[in-house]
Amino acid sequence: MKPFPKNLKSKLDFRKQNNALRKLSIPNNLIDFASNDYLGFSKSESIFDKTHQLLLDKNIKINGATGSRLLSGNHILYHETEQIIANFHQSESALIFNSGYDANVGFFSSLPQRNDIILYDELCHASIRDGIQMSNAKAYKFQHNDFDELEKLILKQKSIQINNCQTELVEVLSNEIFIVTESVFSMDGDTPNLEELTNICEKYNCNLVVDEAHAIGVFGNQGEGIIQSLRLQDKVFARIVTFGKGLGCHGAVILGSQELKNYLVNFARSFIYTTALSPHSVATILVAYQHLKFEKEAIQNLKNNILFFNQEKMQLGLKPLFVYSKSPIQCAIIPGNEKVKSIANKLQENGFDVKPILSPTVPEGQERLRFCLHNYNSEKEISEVLQLLSNLIF
């Protein structure tokens, strides 16, 4: 076999030296505080059985989509599922992508144009940042949830546009500004003040784009997400919703106007140049959405567990370690890859699947234990894992 290039090997060696080398772990039978399966939908036999029955009822007995949606892969379930999703989220349209990564890369690489401006929260997900890097627009980050800084950036860009218009005698004031954030941040679990943010976007005529990956199935009476629960859906240019968390399946959708959908179908390369999801995958999405309407008890159990977790960490004196969060993502900051990995290993040895988040995934000094809560975690499990953490820390 041809030797692996030395420069690439050195990068792997550097990761090893810093305790930051990623490895694929084998599934375990530990108590789940690691997965994004907030409502347990991925393990639902009811969803599995109803998906199979739906395919039989529609006489769909094929294993793959056979091509991209623009060629042979736009099977009949796509239209029905997108319509159900659009209605559920009170959106004019919905366009399914193969994954959340594909949706974000497709959106941000194609939609903002040259001379447009993207202003994004510094903690936005890697898929958003990758899409922005592929865009022809100029992009600037603002400090996490800092809307004072955001407003200064908007005013600065507006001033530059006016000056360009005066000096070059070119009309550039129609150039767009896109504001990008998440309703629940994946590594902190916190939420921005979305009502204030929509007011800022309205004030300066900016386009708000919100990734709701970790809010679906969690917030709202039917798990519809934070934007909708605050009745802000008509003030948002686009919402990106993924199915691999609360819905327990695979894929993603971009919600917005019919014009937005038409544009993405024509210009989003991660949509155009990929084989479509299989009928079974789309059927699972459809059935999972149907289940959300009737899973109020599961959603309430999750909310109760989030409240109980916050109460327990306060009672044990652990609150200062944790990032403020009212979501299922609860993160204890434990600086240093070696230290946080050591504590995670001890939790796992005692039966709790809690994962360490290492730099460079998070900034150096912000390494953390990431606890993901679910409707199926018991109060006993929550108490025991936090008591063990307390013993290890103190």
Mean per-residue pLDDT of the chain: 94
Per-residue pLDDT at 81: 98
Residue 194 CB-half CA count within 13 A: 27
Measured CA to CA, the distance from residue 260 to residue 274 in angstroms comes to: 19
- Environment class of residue 342 by beta-carbon count within 10 Å: exposed (0-12), middle (13-18) or buried (19+)? middle
For domain 28-42+296-393, say whether CATH 3.30.70.20 is its number: no
Residue 50: pLDDT over 80: yes
List the chain domain ranges. Answer: 28-42+296-393, 62-292
What is the residue type of 209?
V
Tokens of 134: 């592929």
The share of the chain scoring above pLDDT 90, in percent, equals: 91
Confidence of residue 174 (pLDDT cuts 50, 70, 90): low
Tokens of 125: 């997900």
**Length of the chain measured in residues:** 394
- In the CATH hierarchy, which top-level class contains the domain 62-292? alpha beta
Confidence of residue 163 (pLDDT cuts 50, 70, 90): low
Measured CA to CA, the distance from residue 172 to residue 73 in angstroms comes to: 40
Note the pLDDT tens digit of each residue in 306-340: 999 999 999 999 999 999 999 999 999 999 999 99
Note the pLDDT tens digit of each residue in 72-103: 999 999 999 999 999 999 999 999 999 999 99
Residue 168: pLDDT over 70: no
Other C-beta atoms lying within 10 Å of the C-beta of residue 75: 20
Confidence of residue 198 (pLDDT cuts 50, 70, 90): very high
State how far the alpha carbon of 21 is from the alpha carbons of 12, 123, 187, in Å. 7, 22, 19
At what angle are helices 337-349 and 379-393 packed, to 10 degrees?
A: 140
- Sole residue written with tokens 């109760």: 304
* Dihedral sign for Cα atoms in the order 272, 223, 373, 380: negative
Give, as one character, the DSSP assignment of residue 322. Answer: B
Contact 263, 111 (CB under 8 A): yes
* Dihedral sign for Cα atoms in the order 198, 200, 204, 207: negative
User: Which among 93, 126, 98, 327 is positioned nearest to 217, based on CA atoms?
Assistant: 327
pTM here is 0.93
Note the pLDDT tens digit of each residue in 241-277: 999 999 999 999 999 999 999 999 999 999 999 999 9
Give, as one character, the DSSP assignment of residue 75. Answer: -
